[in-house]
Structure 1
């Protein structure tokens, strides 16, 4: 990583653990403190648009979106000013916090930032029977659960590929989840912009509102918090799309791809030099194998949350 432009270090660069896709470090120099992210370029699930994302981040920062200041970006390294704040637990946030997040989304969607045309999405993978067989053959701790839900995973892949997404399409963050947020004096700070790009508006709103209105599972969803995100969006000048299952297809598709990616890393059985540690991949695989069928089975209840 080339960090010479950040100044003279006042101590060693230290690893900050917990990233689900990349590796993060803190660097203190005579010019301040920086978050230095080493991008996983070995087995990414998508092409990372470095220049486009950095331009979008700069526009969002200039528009007053609460976020770390973007400093520099190259093919393998992202640098932001370090921001102190409290991690947001995976639990329903306060109504005021949810309203602010909705307003942030409205502000983002109103930005006029050039972006390349979206490329066609690849169909959702259908190799779940083969993955389950490999997991059983290699003694993965979650192999039995995966085998029991193979048909459900195939049904989710079909849903992701066939669910109609009426639009509109917006340029947005695409990954506002508790683990990508801080609370500073009780107010949001939005982190981790690497997934930024074009997305069906309903998918962005559904994923964000649900993630902020629930705990680790789906047994403690607070409908009032879900609606608070949407209230904040409307108050910020946004217009809500019609209700439908498409509000949750992006969340299901994203979690489906993330789970499969981590399963493949677990099946390889080696500690990679980039991306999440193997133990974190096992945690993500186990959580996906257990949680995704539950999420998919509760689609009618989730649709009942929509206005």
Structure 2
């Protein structure tokens, strides 16, 4: 990486572990501290529209959205000014924090930024029987669970492919989850914008509100926190789409695709020099195999959170 434009380093660049798709480093120089993200160019799940995302980030930052300052972007690397703050755990956030997340979403959706790409969602993959068979043959620790849930995974894929999205479609972050948030003085800071693009509004609101209203599983969902996100969105001028399963189709489809991607990485059994470490892929695959069937089974309950 050529990072000379960021100044003279005052200490060696250090790896910051925990990224689910790319690799992150912290660089401290005489010009400040920077987050340097090395993009996975080996087996990424979808194309990053890096230049367009960078313009979107610049517009959001200029509009006062709480986020790290975007510094530069290339096909292989993103650089932001380092943002201090506390990590947000996978647990229900405070009512005030959730309300402000809703306000932030409304401000993001109101930005006037040209986006040259049509909204696209890749069809869900239906190769779960083959993946389960391969997992059993290679002795994956979650293989038996996957094999017992093949029909459920096929039903999930069918739901993702056929669920009607009511619109409108908005240009948005698409991945506001606890691991992409900080708390600074108790208020949100939004990280990791590289998946930004066009998305059905219900999918963005449902994914965001549920992710910060629950713990690691589904036993600690706080309906009041979920509603606080929607209340903040409306208070900041946003209009809610009609309730329905579409609010959770994007989240379920995203987790399905993420699980499959990590399953494939585990099936190769090879440590790569790009993207998450193999151990993290194993953890993500196991979490998906166990968690997705429960999430799908509780879809009717989740829809009631919206109405």
Task: Please state how far the C-alpha of 1:118 moved relative to its aligned partner.
Answer: 1.5
User: Cα deviation per residue 1:161-192 (whole Å; 9 max; x = unaligned)?
Assistant: 00000100000000000000000010000000
TM-score (norm 1): 0.99
Q: C-alpha distance in 2, partners of 1:296/1:10?
A: 49
For the pair 1:266 / 2:257, whether they are aligned, the reply is no
Instruction: State the alpha-carbon separation in 1 of the partners of residues 292 and 166 from structure 2.
Output: 24
SS in 2 for 1:304: helix
Q: Distance in 2 between matches of 1:121 and 1:277?
A: 26
Distance (whole Å) between structure 2 residues aligned to residue 199 and residue 221 of structure 1: 24
Alignment match, 1:242 = 242
Gapped runs of 5+ residues in structure 2? none
Q: Give me the whole-angstrom Cα distance separating, in 1, the residues matched to 2:242 and 2:132.
A: 37
The Cα of 1:117 is off from its aligned counterpart by 3.0
With normalisation by structure 2, the TM-score equals 0.99
Q: How does 1:221-260 map to 2 (within 5 A)?
A: 221-260=221-260
Shift of residue 119, structure 1, vs aligned partner: 5.2
2:219 paired residue number: 219
Q: CA 1:248–1:119 in 2, change beyond 3 Å: closer, same or farther?
A: closer
Pair 1:132 & 2:132 matched: yes
SS at match of 1:61: helix
- Check conservation: 2:181, 2:188, Cα contact below 8 A: yes
Aligned to 2:145: 145
Report how far residue 2 of structure 1 moved.
1.8
How far apart are 1:116 and its partner, in Å?
Answer: 1.4
Counterpart of 1:38 in structure 2 is 38
The whole-number CA distance in structure 2 between the counterparts of 1:16 and 1:236 is: 35
What residue in structure 1 maps to residue 201 of structure 2? 201
Distance 1:118 1:198 in 2: 7
Residue 107 in structure 1 maps to residue 107 in structure 2: yes
Contact 2:119/2:199 (CA < 8 Å) preserved in 1?
A: no
Could you tell me which residue of structure 2 aligns to residue 173 of structure 1?
173
Distance across 1 between alignment mates of 2:118 and 2:175: 17
Which residue is equivalent to 1:118?
Answer: 118
| Counterpart position of 2:27 | 27
**How many residue pairs align between the two structures?**
307
CA contact (8 A) 2:92 2:221 kept: yes
8 Å Cα contact 2:119-2:198 kept in structure 1: no
Q: Does the CA-based 8 Å contact 2:68-2:191 persist in structure 1? A: yes
C-alpha separation between the residues in 1 aligned to 2:167 and 2:10?
49
Q: Which runs of 5+ in 1 are unaligned?
A: none
Q: Which residue number corresponds to residue 163 of structure 1?
A: 163
Looking at structure 1, the residues matched to 44 and 117 of structure 2 have their Cα atoms a distance apart, in angstroms, of 20
Q: 1:34 is paired with a residue of what secondary structure? A: strand
Deviation, structure 1 residue 121: 2.9
For 1:187, the equivalent position in structure 2 comes to 187
Query: CA offsets, 1:28-71, max 9 Å, x none?
Result: 00100000000001101101101000000000000000000000
Q: CA RMSD in A?
A: 0.6
| Matched position secondary structure for 2:305 | coil
Match of 1:59 in 2: 59
Deviation at 1:120, TM superposition (A): 4.0
1:4 deviates by 1.1
- Is residue 207–residue 251 contact of structure 2 (8 Å, CA) maintained in 1? yes
CA–CA separation in structure 2 for the residues paired with 1:266 and 1:88: 28
Question: Deviation of residue 14 (structure 1)?
Answer: 0.2
Matches within 5 A, 1:1-16: 1-16=1-16
1:134-180 deviation line (CA, Å, top 9, x unaligned): 00000000000000110000001000000000100000000000000
Range that drifts further, 112-121 or 209-218? 112-121
Q: 1:235 to 1:119 in 2, by over 3 A?
A: closer
